[in-house]
Chains A and B, each alone.
Chain A
Amino acid sequence: MPDDALFETLRAALGRKRFQKPSTPPEPELAIRNYWTGEERLQQFRRAFTGRGGHLHVVSSAEEARSLIGDLQAGQEAIAASLPWLAECGILDLAGVQSGFTDAELLRNAGRTARIGIISCHCLLAESGTVVLRSSPEQPGSIGFGLPVTVIVAPRRKLLGNLDELLQMNPRSFASFRETVLLNGSEGRDIHLILI
């Protein structure tokens, strides 16, 4: 709802004309840590993420990841996002893991009995121990944020230095997703991150 009267007083207050372009905004000074090695990133991430109650498991193969998920499941039902990456790791084929929901009702019903949600992430920020999650039709929030235990499976290459790096690399990507969540710590949930 454009509000012409409000904009008119606003422009009068600022001494600006209609459609007047602004000067170039000053550039923020970004702190890019591209000199960090992969190992340094991992150490940073581990310290920050586990310091805020997250559980981190670094594994060397998809097979290891699958057996870890089996342990976490301990016979309980899980629902998983229908992501190619999770399929590639063979996680969607595990026993007791449901995925590929074709409508909201099916997902809701499965969510009632499941205890574990399995998802992946957009990236990880080492400096703050942040997991960056994005909602999509394949990965609805009901899987990521509804259940007592959340398992996030991600490849190690998703580990970035910090938010500055993410914003420098691809600032427009934020606009192309409905929701981006920077999850800092467990927020009182049981969160397991499996890095392959």
Chain B
Amino acid sequence: MSTPATVRHHVLTNLDHYLTELEEQLTAKGGKVVYLRSVEEVADSIELLAREKGWPLPADLRQQMERLEPGVAEYLLGGPREAGGSLLLAAGELRIASAAYLIAEAGAVCLIGPPADGAGPRMQIVVAGIDRVLPRMRDVAVFLPLLAGEGSVQFLTGPRRAGEWDGPEELYVYLVDGGRIPLLADPAKRDVLRCVRCGACLSSPPDGSPVVCPVGIDLENIPGLLRRELPPETSGWKYRLWGFVMRRPRLYEFAGRMLRSFWREEWGVPEPPAKSFRQTWREEGRK
């Protein structure tokens, strides 16, 4: 296994330890760590903080937050990519960013994207899944190249310190569970959370081809993993019939002739060829 794969595996199996360490380090420097269960709780919490300050928030805050970490479907449809986006709200007083990584030992938050202009926002909120932790600062050397590309990178360890005139007065780190704990509980699914959103798998969807995942997720196995939870479907007569036919080449050839036009409709492929490969090969008298 590659280093990123083993490091991610290690973090996930000891996640409670690293989250505790991260929280200790961050709070020691004046940061505030908040655990939240869902995206809805994140939006609620941001609205609450903004209301306390009397800051106006846009009505479409939740949609805007989608931009911080757009869904996979958008990627697949070739939509715009905004890696490590951040939102500047309330006339620049509040900045919300999604963390690329959280570094436990250093109590640091790693953001990708250009630094804020000038004195920066008064309040900085960083949102991250609880799985985004790395143990030590030096792990960043192997993980940053997976994400950063050409962009700039920021590491934050807390709010403004004594003697400083700028930097946020408050730094909140929102750690979101968002359904991750049940995944962690199943060792077969746990490794899916190794994902750091590098996008290596996006240029080629997990349809069984050999995608090299930098953190060693067995991409081809995911559909099977999920579908195995629906056993009645896969033990049905259709599968048994399929298995029966595929072990009988003549039946397969006959069925193929029948099914070729059906496949065409299913997958939108153009006119199927008049003859299958095996038919052509046989007719040409090759061995």
Contact = CB atoms under 8 A, between A and B. Distances in A.
Instruction: Verify whether A and B have any Cβ pair under 8 Å.
Output: yes
B252 interface: no
A84 interface: no
- What interface size band does chain A fall in? 35 or more
23 contacts: A1-B33, A7-B19, A10-B130, A23-B10, A27-B3, A29-B3, A104-B165, A104-B166, A136-B164, A140-B167, A145-B116, A174-B106, A174-B108, A174-B137, A175-B25, A175-B106, A175-B107, A177-B157, A178-B157, A179-B115, A180-B155, A181-B152, A182-B155
A187 B114 contact: yes
Interface in A139-176: 140-142, 145-146, 163-164, 167-168, 171-172, 174-175
A10 B16 contact: yes
Contacts of A181: 115, 152-155
B285 interface: no
B15 A141 contact: no
A83 interface: no
Contacts of B18: 22
Contact of B165 (A1, A107, A187, A188): A107
Interface of B: 3, 6-7, 10-11, 13-20, 23, 25, 29, 32-35, 37, 103, 105-108, 114-120, 130, 135-142, 144, 148, 150-161, 163-167, 177, 181-182, 184-185
Given A25-B139, A179-B156, 8 more contacts: A7-B20, A52-B150, A104-B166, A141-B120, A175-B107, A178-B167, A179-B115, A182-B148
A21 B17 contact: yes
A142 B165 contact: yes
A30 B164 CA distance: 34
A137 to B, nearest CB: 4
B118 A145 contact: yes
Interface in A1-38: 1-3, 6-7, 9-14, 16, 20-23, 25-31
Nearest to A117: B118
B58 to A, nearest CB: 25
Given A6-B177, A14-B15, A187 B152 contact: yes
B80 to A, nearest CB: 18
A20 B15 CA distance: 11
A78 to B, nearest CB: 16
A135 interface: yes
B7 A141 contact: no
A174 B160 CA distance: 15
Contacts of B161: 137, 178
Contact of A167 (B13, B116, B130, B140): B140
